[in-house]
Amino acid sequence: MSRIAIIGATSGIAEHCARLWAGRGHDLTLVGRDAARLDAVAADLKVRSPASAIDTLVASDFHDPQAVDMIVGALCAERPVDIALIAHGTLPDQQACQNDGALAADTMLVNGVSPALFAEAFARHMVPVDRGTIAIIGSVAGDRGRKTNYVYGAAKGLVDRYAQGMQHRLAATNVRVVLAKPGPTATAMTAALQSKGQRMASPADVAKRIVAAIDRGQPVVYAPALWAIIMAIVRALPRPIFHKLNI
């Protein structure tokens, strides 16, 4: 039985990952900022897996390095965390970010800097015991800057590079770093895009691929798998052609 900590546990993808792990009887600690939503997710998991220990931790500050260290320290105080899933994030409108510098800064902080701080904080606890998996939810948006979402994409690009560096640093250890890159997924975060008719992946299917990748210690996983091909094409497009596309 593993002990799993989920940062941003009320996100749609994280909740479905938690259901899969609860189904295996693992113990879960759910971390988030909304106590009522955390309690609702925990109650659902307890029904699905009465044998699992399901705890919650309400934390208000995901940005401050000292606050992040305290959250992770509290999670690792009693016994080591086997898997840390870092799943929190926001998806504001690109035009709104262009018009509001504060919103753009917050978007990059929440989606880029904060996940990196959590990953590094978990590594400080996992490396000394030489075991554990740090899984970070990035995005296909981080693969190439596009006009429709480059503020969010820049933050996810930071996560991508950070995960690469940690994988390189920890390659000789038994600590694994898994970077998940979901495509557009039908969660609350993408409600505005869904209202415009954009096709979305099922969060349950995305969660299955992420959990399977964590099981294997796979460095990078696209979810659904088709996005690996799509983004390979997008990355390879010559700039003159790319600039003519409305993506």
Q: What is the pLDDT of residues 17-76, one digit of tens each?
A: 999 999 999 999 999 999 999 999 999 999 999 999 999 999 989 999 999 999 999 999
Which pTM does this prediction carry? 0.95
Tell me if 2 sits within 8 A of 20, measured CB to CB. no
DSSP 152: H
Tell me which long-range contacts 65-69 makes (C-beta under 8 A, separation of at least 24): 65/117, 68/114, 68/117, 68/118, 68/121, 69/121
Count the residues in the chain. Answer: 247
- pLDDT (0 to 100) of residue 109: 97
Which of the four pLDDT bands, split at 50, 70 and 90, describes residue 125?
Answer: very high
224 prior amide bond cis, ω within 30: yes
Token output for 31: 């971390």
| β-strand partners of 133 | 83, 176
Q: What is the pLDDT of residues 141-199, one digit of tens each?
A: 999 999 999 999 999 999 999 999 999 999 999 999 999 999 999 988 888 888 887 88
Query: Which residue type sits at 165?
Result: G
What single string gives the DSSP state of each residue in 33-59? S-HHHHHHHHHHHHHH-TTS-EEEEE-
Class of the CATH domain delimited by 3-243: alpha beta
Query: What rounded mean pLDDT belongs to the chain?
Result: 96
Token output for 76: 């690792």
* Residue located via tokens 């964590």: 214
* Residue located via tokens 């091909």: 229
